[in-house]
Structures are given as C-alpha cells and as structure tokens.
Amino acid sequence: MLAVGMLFVFTGASSARAQTVRGTLVEERTDRPIPGAFVILEDSTGQAVSSTLTGSAGTWLLRAPMAGTYRLRADRIGYASYLSDSLVLEEGESATYRLAAAVAPIGLTQLAVEGAGGGCEVLAAEEGLAVYQVWEEARKALAAIVWTGQQPYYRFDAVHYQRRLDGHGVPAGPAEYEEVRYFGRHPFRSIPTRDLVLGGFVQSFSGAVQYYGPDAEVMLSTEFLRRHCFHLVETDNSGLVGLKFGPVDEARVIDIEGIMWLDPESSELRRLDFHYENLDLSVDTRHLGGTVEFARLPSGAWIVQHWTIRVPIIEQGPPRRSSGGRTLPPRRLLTGIDEGGGQVTAVFLTSRLLGYPSTDTLPVRPPPDSLIARYPVRH
C-alpha cells in the first residue's frame, strides 16, 4: 500500500492575484522525484478545483480559485492514493509542499475473480474491495486522460480511417485515411454525458442514425456510474484483469456494456471493449461496438491512442409471402459493418514547460495493421 507523508513548508511569499500551491513529489526512502503522478487540489466539499501531472523532476504547481480550506490528493497508478489533512490558503498566499511517497505497489494479480451475473447485486466484502481497487486504478488513468485532453498546450497528430466489413466482421475492402491535427483537445471525444444518458448511445437525427462510444469523461461521470454495475471477470488470454460494466436492469435507452482491461503488474489501464445493449435490429449484433486503447506517454500524461466503432449497414430484404399467400413485411438484412476509428500518431507540447519534454513518443499497438504500415508513429 502507498503511504504518503507530507512535510508542510510555507514560504511566506504572497501574490495579490492568486493563491498557489507548489511542491515536489519524491520517493520516501530514496528522495528520488516521481514524474507522471496526478496531484489534485480539492476544496472543503471534496470537489477537485485544480489538478496537474508532476514533471520529470517530480515538480507540480496548482492554483486555488480563491482563499479557503483545501486538501491535496496524490494519485499514482499502481499505488494507493493519499488525501492530506486540511490546509488553509489565505488570499494571495503562496505555499510550498514536499510530498514524500512510499513505494510499495498495489498488486492486481490476485484480484481477478469470476464476476456475478447481471444486475447490481450486493457483493461480498472481499469481492467488493477487489472491484473498488481495480476501479480506483482505472479511474486514475481516466482522470489523467481527461486532464491531458484539456490542456491548451498539447498538439495531437492523428489519422482517422473508415472501412467496410462484411456481416461477420471481416474486412471487405481497403480503408480510407485522413490526417488530422488538433490543438488543445484530444481527437477522441464523445458528446456530452447528459445527452448520452437521456438519448442513449445510439440516436437518430433527421433520419440519420448516430452511434457513439464512451470517452474518459463519460466513464468518470456520476451519471454513468449511477446507471451501470461493475464486476470483476477472469483474466483474458493476455493475462489482463477485467472490470466488467453493464447498464442497470431498468435502463430504457440504448446503452453500452463492456470490459476495462488492466495490467495486473503495473495496474495500468490498457483498453476498453464495449458493445451496444438494448438494440432492437432483428439482425446479428455480435460484431457491433468498439474498442478504445490507452497509452501512457513518457511524461506521465495519458491519452487514448487508438479507437474503433463498428456500426451496422442494414437493408430491406426481398418481399415475403406466408404459406397462405399473405404478403409479409421484408426482413432486415445485415449486409455489412461500417468501421471507423483513429490513431494518435504523435503528441507535441506547443510551449516550453519546465520539467516536460517537447515531444511525447508513443508505443505501437493499434490495429488495423495497415494503419501502422502507412502511418508509423513519429518520435
């Protein structure tokens, strides 16, 4: 377990404009800086008001919106989070804190158990704790992804693609590609959570049907968590720990069910697989849904590196007649699957920040293979 100790050292310096809190996160025994950890400033109600990732030297800087009572939380994937005692910031005050963190990691290897069935059953204490521990590690990565995607100084280079699959999910033709560039926002972003909760993950606008996938902000939202149940599942073939989620029984809109997969050794979130629930299409929907793959950058920031969404291509079949000669409505036929997605190929910092590299390199893990063959990740 992680035990974070804090040594409070007030500098006495002040600013007439803002309240700032800065410091360094280091290992307790070695005094080595810890980069890529998430430090959050929470107000007296527990609401996060400012957050940042530690730089390569373990340094961090947070600004409080106003004078008041706050607490600091240190989130580090693979380690227990820590919440500090209350601290009071006067108007214009600047404070310096040294956070010393123990280095005993959390292991998820022994936590994977066969989950219960559908519905939100009350879990036994041991299983409930295991679910909570796995969710906490997933939450840390998701929060870092939201933070990274909101920073104005990040530039994302990406490739969007689209291709046709047959009804069994096998590619039926070449993919089409488009290079894109985004400043200050991640290329993979869902519509607002409230719109998904009220309208569902599949919506129709003027006769056009839109299918949506969940981004990190959606997965972290109170609305999503209230409407979904979580259970642990057995590890997959690659040895990852699975945290399964599904809509509550009374869900009335088209929703999603899926599994978040985490590395049992590092506790890092690797990918999310999902499919659509409550679809009423009268066709085979097994291959519909999507995959979201996550990557940790060398700076400690997190992003969605690769994503896909697969939606049906449905046509009306030929006219039918009953044995008595009565005309029957034509059947719906799944004639293909439209797969769209993207791949972040490079991430850059557009301004010079102390303790951060100017370029973040990415691991190469995305299907389809042709995407990497055509657009290799740039370093």
Per-position pLDDT tens, the chain of length 379: 233 333 323 233 333 457 888 888 888 788 888 888 889 999 988 888 998 888 878 888 999 999 999 988 888 888 877 777 888 888 888 888 887 777 767 766 544 444 444 456 655 556 677 788 888 899 999 998 998 888 888 888 899 999 999 888 888 888 899 989 988 888 888 999 889 988 999 998 887 889 999 999 999 998 898 888 888 887 667 788 899 999 887 667 899 999 999 998 888 999 999 999 888 887 888 889 999 999 988 777 889 999 999 999 888 777 777 676 677 676 778 888 999 999 998 888 776 554 454 555 444 344 444 444 444 433 3
Quote the distance between the C-alpha of residue 375 and its chain's center.
24
What sign has the CA pseudo-torsion 260, 263, 264, 269? negative
Beta strands in 219-268 (DSSP E): 228-233, 241-247, 255-262
Residues 6+ positions from 12 with CB-CB distance below 8 Å? none
Query: What does the CA dihedral 140, 141, 146, 150 come to, rounded to 10 degrees?
Result: 100
User: Closest by alpha carbon to 291, among 314, 268, 261?
Assistant: 261
Compute the distance between CA of residue 188 and CA of residue 182 in angstroms, rounded to an integer: 10
Answer yes or no: are the C-beta atoms of 201 and 255 closer than 8 Å. Answer: yes
Q: Report whether the peptide linkage leading into residue 376 is cis, meaning its omega lies within 30 degrees of zero.
A: no
Token reading at 286: 């097994």
Burial 322-332 (b: 16+ CB within 10 A, else e): eeeeeeeeeee
Answer yes or no: are the C-beta atoms of 37 and 74 closer than 8 Å. Answer: yes
Strand partners, 200: none
Answer yes or no: are the C-beta atoms of 167 and 334 closer than 8 Å. Answer: yes
All structural domains of the chain, each given as residue ranges with its CATH number in brackets, are 4-101 (2.60.40.10), 125-374 (no CATH)
